[in-house]
Amino acid sequence: MTDNLAWERLDSTVAYTCPGFDVVHEDVRLPDGTETDSTTSPSGRRASGSPASA
């Protein structure tokens, strides 16, 4: 089964690293086609995000 709500990862970089975890910054495309960014914490939860500039 396809997940129609899945984000497509366009790019990914480690924004911060320390012993025990990394904070990852990703450029993503949302299901509606909007491109934005997301930063994930060690728990995998979305920590912040803002619309991409046109």
Q: Does 2 fall in a domain?
A: no
| CB burial string 24-40: b at 16+ within 10 A, e below | bbbebeeeeeeeeebeb
> ∠ at Cα 53 (48, 54), nearest 5°?
150
> Of 12, 15, 52, nearest to 30 (Cα)?
52
Domain that holds residue 14: 8-48
Q: Does 21 fall in a domain?
A: yes
> Is 11:26 a contact under the CB 8 Å cutoff?
yes
Q: Does 13 fall in a domain?
A: yes
Residue 20, pLDDT score? 81
Residue 27, pLDDT score? 95
Q: Does 54 fall in a domain?
A: no
The pLDDT mean for the chain works out to 79
Mean pLDDT of 25-51: 77
Q: Does 53 fall in a domain?
A: no
